[in-house]
């Protein structure tokens, strides 16, 4: 399956993780879930549907006008919130520290992490113009507890090169939801865990709040 997207910035790491948040990936918030369907789509159909929907927003000429930029941003965020299990990402990103947090601290981290990613990635949706996303094969497995997981392999095809982007999904609440992405072998979850590990939870929260307010990296706070 080949879907038309727009081109990315020159840096591959930025392109790939921005692609994750601005084109292919979708959030499902703790209290939200995608609408129940009569037939559950295959994992690769879920990824393809997210791609198709977001690309439709980014390539809509009416939404590309300066006066509609905020509307386009809100539509992208709403779509992102439809398909992705962000609570699962947050738990995996914090690793063992997640078990030490109470419910209020977990909710606080999830909300801040969402804002942090929006500020650093989704805010840059205007940088896209003319590439291809190729949704390829999928692999589904089940663990001993009966939990179902999937990997969907895709290629982000640019004029000069092709970047492999592999999505990890879990089956929850009648839907396939993305919980991690590997871009050229780099896991989103592992990448952020390595960024967050040097800080205590209180310091991490402080730095995330400052980063959201200033747009600067965590280490600059």
pLDDT at 2 over 60: no
Query: How far from the centroid of its chain's Cα atoms is residue 67's Cα?
Result: 26
> What pLDDT does 143 receive?
95
- Is 218 inside a domain boundary? no
Q: Residue 50 sits in a domain of what CATH number?
A: 3.10.450.710
- Is 29 inside a domain boundary? yes
pLDDT at 122 over 60: yes
- Is 221 inside a domain boundary? no
Mean of pLDDT over the chain = 82
Q: What is the mean pLDDT of residues 180-203?
A: 94
Helices (H), 68-172: 69-83, 86-94, 103-120
SS3 148: strand
Number of domains the chain is built from: 1
Give the pLDDT band of residue 81 (cuts 50, 70, 90).
Answer: confident
- Is 85 inside a domain boundary? yes
- Is 152 inside a domain boundary? yes
pLDDT one-digit tens code per residue, 199-215:
999 999 999 999 999 88
> What pLDDT does 3 receive?
46
* Domain of 73, in residue numbers: 2-213
18 against 129, higher pLDDT: 129
- Is 219 inside a domain boundary? no
- Is 131 inside a domain boundary? yes
C-alpha 163/C-alpha 155 separation (Å) is 6
- Is 74 inside a domain boundary? yes
> What pLDDT does 160 receive?
86
Identify whether the C-beta of residue 121 lies closer than 8 Å to the C-beta of residue 22: yes
Q: Which two tokens stand for residue 66?
A: 């300066």
**Long-range contacts of residues 168-172, Cβ cutoff 8 Å, at least 24 apart:** 169/43, 169/46, 169/47, 170/85, 170/88, 171/40, 171/147, 172/85
pLDDT at 29 over 70: no
Q: What is the mean pLDDT of residues 80-104?
A: 93
């Amino acid at each position: 399956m080949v879907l038309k997207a727009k081109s990315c910035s020159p840096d591959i790491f930025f392109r790939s993780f921005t692609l994750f948040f601005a084109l292919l990936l979708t959030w499902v918030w703790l209290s939200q879930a995608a609408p129940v369907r009569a037939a559950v789509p295959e994992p690769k159909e879920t990824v393809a549907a997210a791609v198709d929907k977001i690309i439709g927003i980014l390539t809509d000429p009416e939404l590309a006008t300066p006066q509609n930029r905020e509307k386009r941003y809100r539509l992208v965020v709403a779509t992102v919130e439809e398909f992705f299990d962000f609570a699962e990402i947050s738990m995996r990103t914090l690793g063992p520290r997640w078990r030490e947090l109470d419910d209020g601290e977990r909710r606080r981290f999830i909300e801040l992490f969402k804002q942090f990613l929006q500020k650093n990635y989704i805010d840059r949706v205007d940088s896209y113009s003319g590439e291809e996303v190729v949704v390829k094969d999928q692999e589904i497995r089940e663990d001993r507890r009966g939990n179902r997981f999937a990997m969907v392999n895709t290629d982000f095809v640019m004029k000069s090169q092709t970047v492999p982007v592999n999505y990890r999904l879990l089956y929850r609440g009648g839907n396939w939801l993305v919980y991690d992405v590997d871009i050229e072998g780099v896991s989103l979850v592992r990448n952020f865990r390595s960024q967050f590990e040097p800080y205590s939870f209180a310091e991490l929260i402080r730095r995330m709040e400052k980063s959201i307010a200033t747009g600067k990296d965590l280490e600059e706070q």
